[in-house]
Amino acid sequence: MTRPVRPTMRDVAARAGVSQALVSLVFRNAPGASPATRERVFRTAEEIGYRPNLAAQVLRRHRSRHIGVLFTMRQPFDVDLVEAIYPGAQQRGYHVVLGALGPGRDERHAVEELLAYRCEAMILLGPATTAAELAVAAERVPIVAIGWRSSGEGVDVVRAADERGARLAVEHLAGLGHRDILHVDGGDRTGSQHRRRGYERAMRRNGLGDFVRVLGGDHTEESGAAAVRRLMGEKVLPTAIFTSNDRCAHGVLDTLIRTGSAVPGDVAVVGFDDSGVAQLSFIDLTTVRQDVAGMAEAALDAIVERLEQGRTGTRRIVLDPSLVIRSTTAAPKPSR
Amino acid sequence: MTRPVRPTMRDVAARAGVSQALVSLVFRNAPGASPATRERVFRTAEEIGYRPNLAAQVLRRHRSRHIGVLFTMRQPFDVDLVEAIYPGAQQRGYHVVLGALGPGRDERHAVEELLAYRCEAMILLGPATTAAELAVAAERVPIVAIGWRSSGEGVDVVRAADERGARLAVEHLAGLGHRDILHVDGGDRTGSQHRRRGYERAMRRNGLGDFVRVLGGDHTEESGAAAVRRLMGEKVLPTAIFTSNDRCAHGVLDTLIRTGSAVPGDVAVVGFDDSGVAQLSFIDLTTVRQDVAGMAEAALDAIVERLEQGRTGTRRIVLDPSLVIRSTTAAPKPSR
DNA sequence: GTGAAAGCGCTAACAA
DNA sequence: TTGTTAGCGCTTTCAC
């Protein structure tokens, strides 16, 4: 069991015939080394396969330049966000450390782990943690919650204007002539409460207060499927269904089609997020698009402001969603 | 911009009135401290909010106890594996460091990053990297590739018996009376070639050599949808379609249903993986199940063997897949 | 049962 | 332009 001892800066220095400090200089791209030396150091390092020891760097620099990102692998929207965060972080000179949430890995645990890695800041996607718990973590490092509303101090929030998004959906449907528009909500999931409220208000504002109807759900396909199955017991289906996210819409859509309802002929469907599933050619879901790239940028900017510009006040950034009209919506059948 | 200076072991030691070395002892659960001292150290640490500095630990111990896991967030099967790896790694006393692959984040880059974090070993899920490239990385740390075939030395491989899996699918369909069984393959994706070969062989072995037909695809929903659309131009559809993975099967399934074909009435569909999508109630896909838990365990064991038991020879572990019969398969219509 | 001391690989201030 | 030096926070002998 030979431990593969990796070359250190000292080894590079010895081989290149310079001091170890100079090697450090060169690797940090700091000024103060002649081009010739620079070249030689790099070549020597290459030759012996040297790679900087991040642990030593972090220890010495008192900075890790790591940003922790907590997310749920199963949520396509979270994945979209993570993919947008990666390049943005790199641009700003930070590394991303992923913390996956899931069965058996709760938020507390994951936050602790990211803290142990010496993350300088954390981005939380759709966190379920209470404000109080977050505040504790926020004392240690800047925290940005995406898609989450906090009244807690110290936690920056980036989110979509969920209510406006829901209004876009309702007005689109109402504009097509729909009146019996049902909402499958997202329970206590990210943004759900405000999407539901936005739905209710928009319905009333459009004179459809009598048609307001909400079925309980969450942000999974199964909850959408279950909602439609519950509906099947009734004589008439609503002419349109607006769901709290795309995964739920997927369940609604597929279950409708499999039970013989045409979409959008019999029932129109609108989702929320515009995650990958909505964009599949055979799903082609009309949905409320959240500005993923904008959210990622805003979150990173919020972190940089705190880390490098000394901001201390809490920020709340709200981004406007937009409606993406695809093929799951059309005017209701004239017969109704 | 006050840098929040975190308490160190020295601080704990000073406050508890012991030496710093003793605090270290206590935190490592090493023998040699009285219960009273132990208690006091822990209490003091708690009081001042001390948390061990992982960077310092890694630097000093020459061990990070980190295992890097490279995966594709968009592949449900990869996500299943990651979720199985987490608890297994923890049991064995290791931390998991995630490296996400995706657009703009290639394997080389991700491997380099995990290496920089001082990962002691790496698990690669369905890697696209060539053997040669992997061998370079394998010189530094033990590498286990899941679902990948390597002839390269030094890289352990854990995979499903893809050919057998394909045979299970074909024999199930043939047993139901299907003859015209088409395969949508996975191009160069993980396991595809062997699934295709398994399909071809099983067809011939069952006297269906004349019906062998492969449509090119990959492991995405769109490739399944595209395959069905290509098929629509023809007078008759096959009575059964076997795809190289579940996502592709999803595209096949949904496109069939949307274009008016009944499943399994008109066309039977079989996927591969048994990932989350296959288990959705409204998809309920008959599929070839890969033993995710078994693969995760095998990969972790392979790593521990190398790291702690000094194994050096290359291992190849092949796990048997099994057939999960759900509702997308049935006997073909008698008319045909 | 406890403490002193050396040093992991690197950075950064200072000296030459 | 280059070298010297003092640690970062921790682990780990080796004394006491």
Q: Do B79 and A74 touch (CB under 8 A)?
A: yes
Q: Which residue did the predictor score with more confidence, B103 or A323?
A: A323
CATH of domain B162-289: 3.40.50.2300
For A42, half-sphere exposure in the C-beta direction (CA atoms, 13 angstrom radius) is: 11
Is A302 strand, coil or helix?
helix
Contacts of A53 in chain B (CB under 8 A): 59, 118
Name the average pLDDT for chain B: 92
With a 7 Å cutoff on the CB, does B59 touch strand C? yes
A86 to chain B, closest Cα gap in Å: 9
Q: Which of A55, A118, A281 sits opposite B222 (nearest CB)?
A: A281
Boundaries of every domain in chain B? 9-59, 64-161+291-320, 162-289
- Tell me whether the CATH fold assigned to A64-161+291-320 matches the one assigned to A162-289: yes
CATH of domain A9-59: 1.10.260.40
Q: Is B131 on the interface with A (CB under 8 A)?
A: no
Contact B309, B279 (CB under 8 A): no
Average pLDDT of A32-41?
A: 91
Tens digits of residue pLDDT in B173-213: 999 999 999 999 999 888 999 999 999 999 999 999 999 99
Contacts of A74 in chain B (CB under 8 A): 79, 276
* Rounded Cα–Cα distance for residues A292 and A83 (Å): 9
Q: A292-309 vs A76-91: helix axis angle to the nearest 10?
A: 40
Average pLDDT of B238-256?
A: 98
Tell me the DSSP string of B208-249. -GGG--EE---SSHHHHHHHHHHHHTSSS--SEEEESSHHHH
Peptide bond into B4 cis (omega under 30): no
Which one, of A105, A92, A112, A98, lies nearest residue A299 by Cα?
Answer: A92
Dihedral in degrees, nearest 10, Cα atoms A247, A251, A252, A255:
160
Tens digits of residue pLDDT in A93-102: 999 999 999 8
Which one, of A38, A39, A43, A45, lies nearest residue A7 by Cα?
Answer: A45
Q: Which long-range contacts (CB under 8 A, 24 or more apart) does B25-32 make?
A: B27/B52
Q: Is 60 exceeded by the pLDDT of residue A1?
A: no
* Rounded Cα–Cα distance for residues B257 and B267 (Å): 10
Contacts of B327 in chain A (CB under 8 A): none
Tens digits of residue pLDDT in A200-238: 999 999 999 999 999 999 999 999 999 999 999 898 999
CATH of domain B64-161+291-320: 3.40.50.2300
Q: Is B335 exposed, middle or buried (0-12, 13-18, 19+ CB in 10 A)?
A: exposed
Q: Is 50 exceeded by the pLDDT of residue B26?
A: yes
Say what the pLDDT of residue B1 is.
35
Stated in angstroms, how far is A32 CA from C15 C1'? Answer: 15
A150 pLDDT band (50/70/90 cuts)? low
Q: Which two tokens stand for residue B227?
A: 């395959």
Say what the pLDDT of residue B15 is.
93
Percent share of chain B, pLDDT over 70: 93
